[in-house]
Structure 1
Amino acid sequence: MNTNVWKVDKYVDNLENNPQVVDAANFLRENELVALPTETVYGLGGNAESDEAVAKIFAAKGRPGDNPLIIHIAERQQLNRFVTEVPPSAAKLMDAFWPGPLTIIFKKKEGALSEKATAGLETVAVRMPDHPVALALLKTCGLPIAAPSANSSGKPSPTKAEHVLDDLNGKIAGVLDGGATGVGVESTVIDCTGTLPVILRPGGVTKEQLEEVIGKVWEDAALKDQSARPKSPGMKYTHYAPNAPLFMVSGTREFLQTLVEEKRGEGLRVGVLTTEENESFYEAELVLACGRRAEIETVAASLYDTLRSFNQGKVDIIFSEIFPNEGVGHAIMNRLEKAAGHKLISE
């Protein structure tokens, strides 16, 4: 399959009539797959009402079929098509954070969406992306679009169109290239179907921000207990991993450098994931700065691009600094833990 690449300037007016956006929307209506930029990562979009389209998403990504997908919409009234009710807590969160990096789980209407998209669950995860190209595409095609991250399952999520092509070129109809994404980690997922809202996946909206709007929220046990059963899209299997094994390191810079020297002494090519503040300290085959520790949002924005860059460096092992497990740092550490398979070396 030839994969089209449509470059779209997100700052131009009237994007819904942009020829590239219209072309991409036509492919979605024909149940083909189109990768689209969002404010978090690039998503792999397909018609959420079509078993055929959703099956193509799972096939292109190599994603297990029991892992549900997030449905993307452009307007709130679309919820009426496939959601049974909007709880008060969800309404408040939509007012505060939509469009934006927040996915809300609702009870679904039976038969309104492909059962493959929801993995047969009684609930559906929905979000409204805060990206002009994504919103224009969603409005133009007029469909609810299932869109997991546009990468091969288990690999770092794509924050640039070229990342999508690295994994999916020849497997999908096209990529809408709207430039690099902003937030860099996926949306927060919160379940509003129970008595109390529960965070199932940390992301671009922090726990603190959510609680400012709706009061106390809980966190799913699976975020801390690896044996618990995850309920959120994208959190059931190992994700975000570079090709080389990744180890998180808790300790001083000096301790991390001793680990590097040990592995170099064994003849291995070593990579270090750090930040701009510490980049010049380390000596290794590949030292990559992932944003600035003093501005933790820059770490989130650069994380997946940095993890992918280690693949080009052909390293044998990677050591990563860790980050404060609060605010956006909670989402960063969640992704690093998944990428490292929870491998942590402590001083």
Structure 2
Amino acid sequence: MTKIIQANQLEEGAALLRQGELVAFPTETVFGLGAIANNEDAVKSVYAVKGRPSDNPLIVHIADEPAIFDFMKDDDQDRHALIEKLTAAFWPGPLTLVVPVKEDTFPSVVTGGMDTVGIRLPDHETTRELIRLTGFPLVGPSANISGKPSPTKVEHVKHDFDGKIGGIVNADPTRIGVESTVLDLTDERGLIILRPGFITKSMLETVVDNYPILMGGTIASDDTTAPKAPGMKYIHYSPDQPVMAVSQEEMANVLQDLENQNMPFALAATTQTLAEYGSRAQATFSLGEDITSATHTLFSALRTFDDVPEITQIVVELFPDKEENSAYRNRLIKASSVVME
């Protein structure tokens, strides 16, 4: 039976991690599935329990800002200065930095066999204390079955892993609701955003205005290329029913087509859109008033309808292609079999 670990029981969670067990932990983004990052067997069990492809690298979570320099190959003073700027501005917080990894620091299963590693300092004091008590950084991919919506509540983690992992650290629902921005600092062309998140390109530019910042592709270049960061190569975030991402402009036509085909559908949308179209759906989920609330609740929306067996299609409102919507769009489009805008 998976133990629910309270904040005053963190030493129990740390003991499980040191023994090679898996313990899910909260962050400001989503819940992570933790394993101590220097135990190859423990890290392999993360892949096995999640059903995760072995070339999909894992992000390493540290407890204190200076620790990044303990685990990266510090061969570039400009990169060192750049990291200090970025961490001063955004850590602790939802920014992962991909850096050259120091040899013999982590087993290759952590890095997907690459010479780089993604490192971040989560903005959650309970988890940082768990890492300190464990005595070594933790890998922490999202605590969900691979390919399914990421977990933003303890209940989501229990749904996927109860009885399969050692423990879950109890905490309130996550504050942001989508995974961290991943920024590659190892590319000669400039700084590459490998995965969009709460920290946007414009926010980064205010801190590193002397570096070009580029948006990376959504997938690796081919099926034989290992991705540098999670979420780049494989299908993600998909619930049991097929998902359609539909813009406000296309909503009326799409819903009419579903009704013409007698397809019972669920609608996840803003309060404004639900007021106009919600009565036509067999089930609904409110994404709130704006992009902030929509991003925060998207994964909950995708999980909600798994327990509504009569639904054969999920329609989710797609926000316009603007920078502030990029994290939401990235996750929703990856979850969708059809995109209409």
* Fold shared per TM-score above 0.5: yes
Equivalent of 2:20 in 25, 31, 45: 31
Identity of aligned residues (%): 39
Q: Taking structure 2 as the reference length, what is the TM-score of the superposition?
A: 0.92
Alignment of 1:243-282 (within 5 A): 243-252=240-249, 255-282=250-277
Is the 1:191–1:197 contact (alpha carbons within 8 Å) kept by the matching residues of 2? yes
Instruction: Quote the offset at 1:120 in angstroms.
Output: 0.6
- Distance, in Å, in 2 between the alignment partners of 1:244 and 1:226 is 28
What secondary structure sits across from 2:98 in the alignment?
strand
CA distance in 2, matches of 1:194, 1:317: 41
Q: Which residue of 2 aligns with 1:3?
A: 2
SS across alignment from 2:67: helix
Q: Alignment RMSD, CA only? A: 1.9
Alpha-carbon shift at residue 319 of structure 1 (Å): 1.6
Deviation at 1:224, TM superposition (A): 11
| 2:226 aligned with 1:237 | no
TM superposition shift of 1:227: 8.7
Where structure 1 has 5 or more consecutive residues not aligned to the other structure, the ranges are: 9-17
The answer to whether the 8 A contact 1:35-1:44 is kept is: yes
Alignment map for 1:11-160 (pairs within 5 Å): 18=8, 20-85=9-74, 86-160=79-153
Specify which of 288, 291, 298 is matched with residue 291 of structure 1: 288
Gaps of 5+ in 2: none
State the shift of 1:208 in Å.
Answer: 0.8
- CA distance in structure 1 between the aligned counterparts of 2:254 and 2:191, rounded to whole angstroms: 42
**Normalization by structure 1: what TM-score?**
0.90
SS in 2 for 1:170: coil
Shift of 1:251: 4.6
State the AA in 2 paired with 1:337.
Answer: I
The separation in 1 between residues aligned to 2:12 and 2:223, in whole angstroms, is 44
For residue 307 of structure 1, what is the aligned residue in structure 2?
302
Distance 1:336 1:228, change over 3 A: farther
On the 8 A contact 1:297/1:328 being kept in 2, the answer is no
CA positional deviation for 1:183: 0.6
8 Å contact 1:324–1:330 — kept in the other structure?
Answer: no
Q: What is the CA deviation profile of residues 165-191 of structure 1, one whole-angstrom value per residue up to 9, with x for unaligned ones?
A: 111111100100111000101000001
2:159 counterpart SS class: helix
SS at match of 1:67: coil
Residue 318 of structure 2 is matched in structure 1 by: 322
